[in-house]
Amino acid sequence: MKVTKFFKSIAIVMVIAITLTCVPNVSAKARPKLNKKKVTITVGTTVKLKMKNTKKKVKWSSSKKSVATVSKKGKVKAKKAGKATITAKIGKKRWQCKITVKKKIIKKTIKQRIAAVVKAHGKAEYDSDEGTYYSITKYNSYEDGDGLTMIEYHPKGDKIEIYNMQEISGYYVMAGATLKNLNDRYCEVSFLEKSVLGYGSGIMDKYNASSSTAVKFDFYTMDEDLVDTMEEATGLMIQLAMNDFDSVMKQYGERITHKDLGFVF
């Protein structure tokens, strides 16, 4: 009799255990929430907001549409720098995301940065062929006389011209380089002394700027026996101009040197 009662007790315990294991695990339903509470974006970019854990219709709105707008599907678009709050509404409940919009940073090219310096700190000039251009002048004193370097930006043609002028034994000599594509290995150069020596123009190998043969004239009005000497003089004067260029850029807070123009010396 006792054995029978024992087995009955075991059977009851097993039934209870089996029943408990068969009861489904019911967890609390997840509450609706916004996928983002705070976002920082730049002007012109977008970000997608959405409600989680709900399939109900969401009504979207922006506290400042001039800064950020939001579509019916929760797509936020940054319009201008500032702050706005995007609200998601379901029935009477609201969820919010704070949006900070920052200005879009546009990285300027080397040429654009040089142009900005020359425009800001130089003076505007006018030429009948070139139109309005901008120029910075740096004055120097050399062993043989005074001189100067001019750094010019010409919007027409989007080019930079850098000239060095010197008074040597009573003669006024000028040599310069014209830079259009800074990535080009060669640039246009010119030499001028009006009274005796004449004119020469050609190209310069920027990668070998310190070489005595870096400059080659393809046109000149000077005597044939002066060409080699004036080509070398042109190269030397352009190197002086590039040193002045470095100094001017540093003076106005731009970390640009002749190396950024492609000159190696």
pLDDT at residue 181 is higher than 60: yes
**20: in domain:** no
- Write down the pLDDT at residue 167: 83
pLDDT at residue 114 is higher than 80: yes
- Write down the pLDDT at residue 224: 92
Does residue 190 sit in the same domain as residue 128? yes
Does residue 93 sit in the same domain as residue 124? no
- Write down the pLDDT at residue 218: 96
Does residue 95 sit in the same domain as residue 118? no
pLDDT, greater one: 55 or 22: 55
Average pLDDT over residues 64-90: 96
Q: Please give the Cα distance from 109 to 28 (Å, whole number).
A: 58
**209: in domain:** yes
Give 106's contacts (C-beta < 8 A, 6+ positions apart).
none
Angle at 261 between CA 257 and CA 263, to 5 degrees: 90
Query: What does the radius of gyration of the chain's CA atoms come to, in whole angstroms?
Result: 38
Burial class of residue 14 (count of CB atoms within 10 Å of its CB; 0-12, 13-18, 19+) = exposed
Does residue 93 sit in the same domain as residue 41? yes
Which among 77, 102, 127 is the end of a domain? Answer: 102
- Write down the pLDDT at residue 9: 57
175 close to 163: Cβ distance less than 8 angstroms:
yes
Six-digit token string for 209: 């700027």
- Write down the pLDDT at residue 29: 78
Using one digit for the tens of pLDDT, what is the confidence trace for 78-109?
A: 999 999 999 999 999 999 999 999 998 888 99
Which among 43, 71, 102 is the end of a domain? Answer: 102
Domain tally for the chain?
A: 2
CATH of the domain at 52: 2.60.40.1080
* Residue 141 pLDDT grade (very low, low, confident, very high; cuts 50, 70, 90): confident
Does residue 162 sit in the same domain as residue 232? yes
| Bridge pairing between strands 215-220 and 198-205 | antiparallel
Q: Please give the Cα distance from 41 to 38 (Å, whole number).
A: 10
pLDDT at residue 16 is higher than 90: no
Q: How many CB atoms lie within 10 A of CB 173?
A: 21
Q: Please give the Cα distance from 39 to 70 (Å, whole number).
A: 13
Mean pLDDT of the residues in the chain: 90
Does the predicted model carry a pTM greater than 0.75? no
**7: in domain:** no
Give the residue numbers spanning the domain of 123.
Answer: 110-261
Does residue 124 sit in the same domain as residue 191? yes
Does residue 91 sit in the same domain as residue 122? no
Does residue 92 sit in the same domain as residue 116? no
* Residue 140 pLDDT grade (very low, low, confident, very high; cuts 50, 70, 90): confident
Does residue 128 sit in the same domain as residue 235? yes
- What residue type is 141 in one-letter code? S
pLDDT, greater one: 109 or 18: 109
Using one digit for the tens of pLDDT, what is the confidence trace for 229-252?
A: 999 999 999 999 999 999 999 999
Which among 42, 70, 102 is the end of a domain? Answer: 102
**13: in domain:** no
Average pLDDT over residues 194-215: 94
**74: in domain:** yes
**37: in domain:** yes
Among 119, 96, 116, residue whose Cα is nearest residue 108: 116
Q: How many CB atoms lie within 10 A of CB 10?
A: 10
Does residue 77 sit in the same domain as residue 98? yes
Does residue 97 sit in the same domain as residue 118? no
Does residue 174 sit in the same domain as residue 209? yes
- Write down the pLDDT at residue 63: 96
Average pLDDT over residues 47-74: 95
**14: in domain:** no
13-17, 61-65, 84-88, 132-136, range with the lowest pLDDT: 13-17
Q: Please give the Cα distance from 98 to 141 (Å, whole number).
A: 60
**23: in domain:** no
* Residue 53 region by backbone torsions, left for phi larger than 0, else alpha for psi between -120 and 50, else beta: left
pLDDT at residue 117 is higher than 80: yes
Give 45's contacts (C-beta < 8 A, 6+ positions apart).
77, 78
110 close to 183: Cβ distance less than 8 angstroms:
no
Q: Please give the Cα distance from 234 to 151 (Å, whole number).
A: 16
